[in-house]
Amino acid sequence: MRELITMWRDTRMIMLVAVIAAIYAAVLIPFNALTIIPGITSIRPANVFPVIFGIMFGPAAAWGSAIGNLIGDVFSGQLGPGSVGGFVGNFFFGLVGYKLWGNLGPLSSGEEPRMDSARQVVEYLVIALTAAAACAAIIAWWLDVLELFPFSVLGTIITVNNFLAAAVLGPPLLYLVYPRVKEMGLLYPDVMREDDLPDVAPSRRQLAATGIVAVSIAWVAIGIAISVGVEGTQFLATTGETFGQGGSVTQQVLGAVGLLVLLGLTAISGDSLSEMVRR
């Protein structure tokens, strides 16, 4: 967790934050692969960036994605209270990559993310799903808290959109850019001073990473279940009566707990890429 603060001492990391934010925003707006609900939701190729940037640029990707989303809001005229959720959600969207790569126990390849084996692709897909879910849960929760949009609708849509873009584009992009970024000396373990990187024992790293996967996915799943009715069968007609404000309160409490647990797990988490790169 410390590295999220100490990275602000390094000029290159700060510059990476700015560049990541600018790329994310500049691609988010014009590139739109598939529109699902016009004006509301679409699959945006840019959503692959937080995940792969997270793996390569570490903490700079977390801050960069958060700021990039904010800038996207400023330039697309959608700045408002909802942007707070967008900021935090995208922060986690970018954070998950480096916290999870190499820390998923049997699911991890234990290699640098060159995407040259099926195992790495599987590891990547788990990370992409987790990142997509964490981001979606936070944003959907926040908009539910503000009573702008119900959790289930947004939680599902954002998870699916984020994941589709990240899953389809991530492996080919990493395959093409990871070696180049490494060659340029811009991987976060190469840019940051060794003292500023997290130094966490492998068992704790894995525990935290596994926790992040579980919490993110569970949060979206439970959240959706709550707002559509626990049994899932009473959708539409009676949800309102069954849950009403009560469902909303449960939703909001669940979200607060989910976010706190994610923060806690982040606090005890570490990274593996710095060891792989140094090896």
Partner 1 sequence: MTGTADERDDGVTARLRDVFFSYDRDADFDEGSGRPDPDARGGLVLDGLDLDVPDHSFTVVMGASGGGKSTLLRTFNGIIPDFITGAFDGEIDVVGHDATSTRVSEMARDVGMVIQDYEAQLFGTSITAEVAFGPENLAVPVADIDDRIDESLAVAGLTDLDRDRAPDALSGGQKQRLVFAGVLAMQPDLLLLDEPTSDLDPVGSRETLSVIGRLADAARADERVGEWAGPDSIVLVTHKIEEALLADHAVLLEGGQVAHSGAAEDVFTDVDSLRDSRVAVPPLVDAFDRLGFDQPDLPLSVDAAAQTAAESDLPWDPPATRGEALPGAPAGTAPDVGDVLFELEDVAYEYDADGETVRAVDGVDLTIREGEVVAIVGHNGSGKTTLAKQLNGLLDPDEGVARWDGSDLTDLQMSEVGRRVGFVFQNPDHQIFAATVEEEVAFGPENFGLEGEELDRRVAEAIRTVDLDGLEEADPFNLSKGQRQRVALASILATDPDAIVFDEPTTGLDATQQETFMDLVAELNREQGVTVAMVTHSMSTVATYAPRTVVMADGRKVADAPTRERFADEDQLHQWDLRPPQPVALANRLAADRGIDDALPALSVDELVAGLGGGETRTATTDAAGDDR
Partner 2 sequence: MSGGSSLYVNGDSILHRLAPRAKIALALGVFAVALAFDNPAWVVVPFAVSLVTLLALGGLKNLMRVWFVVVAIFVVGMVVWPAFVPAGGPVVLSTPLLDVTRDEVLLALGRSTRFASFIVTGLLFVTVTSNEEIVAGLRSLGVPFAFCFAVGTALRLFPTLLSATGTVRQAQEARGHDVAARSPIKRIRNYVPLLIPVFMTAIRNVQTQSMALEARGFDTRRERTFYGRRPLSGRDWLAILAGVALIVGAAVARYVFGLGVV
Q: Which residues in 152-211 contact partner 2 (CB under 8 A)?
A: 152-153, 164-165, 168-169, 172-173, 176-177, 180-181, 184-186
Angle between helices 118-145 and 82-100 (to 10 degrees): 160
What's the CA gap between 211 and 153, in Å, rounded? Answer: 25
Q: Is 277 in the site for partner 2 (CB under 8 A)?
A: no
What tokens appear for 113 in the block?
């993310």
Q: Which residues in 20-39 contact partner 2 (CB under 8 A)?
A: 21-23, 25-27, 29-31, 33-34, 37-39
Binding mask 73-112 toward partner 2 (x if CB under 8 A, else -) reads xxxxxxxxxxx-----------------------------
- Least Cβ distance, residue 109 to partner 2 (angstroms): 22
Provide the binding-site residues for partner 1, judged by CB under 8 A. 175-176, 179-180, 183
75 binds, options partner 2, partner 1, none, Cβ within 5 to 8 A by partner type: partner 2
Q: How many CB atoms lie within 10 A of CB 29?
A: 14
Element at 55 (helix H, strand E) = helix 49-57
Looking at the Cβ atoms of 34 and 214, the one nearer to partner 2 is 34
**How many chain residues bind partner 2 (CB under 8 A)?**
79
What tokens appear for 230 in the block?
């626990």
What tokens appear for 1 in the block?
């967790």
Looking at the Cβ atoms of 134 and 165, the one nearer to partner 2 is 165
240 binds, options partner 1, partner 2, none, Cβ within 5 to 8 A by partner type: partner 2
Q: Where are the beta strands (DSSP E) in the chain?
A: 34-37, 41-43
From residue 235, how far is each of 83, 150, 152, 239 by CA, in Å? 29, 13, 11, 6
Closest CA to 87 of 70, 71, 101: 70
What's the CA gap between 110 and 104, in Å, rounded? Answer: 9
Angle between helices 202-228 and 244-268 (to 10 degrees): 170
Looking at the Cβ atoms of 196 and 265, the one nearer to partner 2 is 196
218 binds, options partner 1, partner 2, none, Cβ within 5 to 8 A by partner type: none
- Least Cβ distance, residue 70 to partner 1 (angstroms): 15
34 binds, options partner 2, partner 1, none, Cβ within 5 to 8 A by partner type: partner 2
Q: Which residues in 226-255 contact partner 2 (CB under 8 A)?
A: 227, 235-237, 239-241, 243-245, 247-248
